[in-house]
Amino acid sequence: MKARPSQDWHSLLALYWITSFVEGLGVSQIYAFLPNRLTEVGVPSADVDHLVGLLGSLFFLSGLPFIPLWGVWADKYSRKAVIIRSALVEAVVFGVVAASQAPWQLFVGMMLVGFQLGNTGVMMAAIRDVTPGHRLGLAMGLFAASSPLGFGTGPAMGSFMIDQLHLSSGSVFAVAALLSIGVAVMLAIGSAEIRPEVVPTGSVVRLAFGAVRGVMADPTVRWLFIVYGVVFVGRQMATQYFTLLVHAVEHTSLLVSGAVGLIGLATIAGAALSPAGGWISDKLGFRQVLVGAIAGLAVTFVALALAPSVAWLLVAYGVAVAFMTVVGAMVSSLLASEVPAERRSATLNLIYLPLYVGGITGPAIGAGVVGAGLRAVFYVAAAILVIALILAVAFARRTGPGAQGIAEDSPPPEPADRVV
């Protein structure tokens, strides 16, 4: 018999929502004001476009080897500690970025970002363990909205600090560091330790690689990770270069924030629409909503490439945020509802695998494409989303209810050393 959850799902969701919101706020400020920060530390304007893409790849590269380890450490020892670790590392990252006085120091700060990630899957696994099944879609939809809302608030707040208070972008990151410290304290005091249904035993390294093998042996997970990874390649290309597109459309320099703050408000509006996707999916099905959201995201990327004005950018980007948030919620809900309990936590913890692959690949491709023009980045991102759409349709047909698919033909996953 499953033990009664040690914390009400509403309160745990609220704490994790705030955690994800603050992380999104700080990370969005890196995306929004990295060009400004590069300029402040002395990078020539001609080199900024290229370095934005390269630094975007570094964002994830350093943390790639730790993807399977965070989940194992969380389930084996403490989910709470792993989540608090993320908030503390965030504070260090934003503090280093704020204090940087030379390009190499900024590079060091960006390399540290990979060590702060790895908390979202852990939080989703805990939410899944305490949330009633009939509320899962709503809970995942609400949680998925937290990061985009943070992504919207971060640029808006930073823009106000830079243009209205006449502070440097370094000051913006200093505030983000303080907020991250506050989150760590909040979690330490307010959150309970949510243990997984199946607690891993044995070597951490063996468990980590066993989790990867077990997860990738599941055909549904393989399909979802591939689809999500391709989506993230396109998404990270567009996100990494969006601030530069804003400055290009309104013809402003990188010493001011310009309309970046307004785009943050559009992000908030788009994220506020995303819980509707969770509500609809509880009625129509996760697969159908996933396919529709990817199709919508591809269209909005084309709209961004065609943008003639800031107003156009505001609308297109807000809609893109809504679609991207729904994609994330649908992937999380499918994994949480269809993966067996003995692999569920490991699978949700490894959801960062496609994000990291997309986070490394997307900006790197963008750094190569941007030489053909800034808008070319968004056209290529849209083309990548079309590929993701084709894969998502194939996934829905092959693994949906009643489908004759790869699930029956695939060998069972190798068991990990786990005990209840």
Residue range 18-33, pLDDT digits in tens? 999 999 899 888 888 8
178 pLDDT above the threshold of 90? yes
Q: How many CB atoms lie within 10 A of CB 362?
A: 31
What is the average pLDDT across 210-220?
A: 75
Separation between Cα atoms, residue 111 and residue 292, nearest integer Å: 35
More confident residue, 121 or 380: 380
Of the candidates 318, 17, 324, 378, which has an alpha carbon nearest to the alpha carbon of residue 156?
Answer: 318
pLDDT tens for each residue of 312-321: 988 898 889 8
More confident residue, 140 or 89: 89
pLDDT tens for each residue of 240-286: 888 888 888 888 877 777 777 777 777 777 777 767 776 777 777 78
Residue 176's pLDDT is: 94
More confident residue, 405 or 364: 364
Global pTM reads 0.71
Contact 338, 400 (CB under 8 A): no
- Residue 408 binned pLDDT confidence (cut-offs 50, 70, 90): very low
Separation between Cα atoms, residue 181 and residue 176, nearest integer Å: 9
CATH class of this structure's domain 9-407: mainly alpha
Integer distance in angstroms from the first to the last C-alpha of the chain? Answer: 11
Separation between Cα atoms, residue 329 and residue 310, nearest integer Å: 28
- Residue 224 binned pLDDT confidence (cut-offs 50, 70, 90): confident
- Average pLDDT of every residue of the chain: 81
Contact 345, 214 (CB under 8 A): no
Ordered by start, the domain boundaries in the chain are: 9-407
In single-letter form, the type of residue at position 179 comes to L
- Residue 203 binned pLDDT confidence (cut-offs 50, 70, 90): confident
Of the candidates 151, 145, 127, which has an alpha carbon nearest to the alpha carbon of residue 323?
Answer: 145
**8-state DSSP, 306:** T
Residue 18's pLDDT is: 95
What is the average pLDDT across 392-407?
A: 64
289 pLDDT above the threshold of 80? yes
More confident residue, 292 or 62: 292
Of the candidates 277, 329, 356, 352, which has an alpha carbon nearest to the alpha carbon of residue 128?
Answer: 329
186 pLDDT above the threshold of 90? yes
pLDDT tens for each residue of 67-97: 778 777 878 888 899 999 999 999 999 999 9
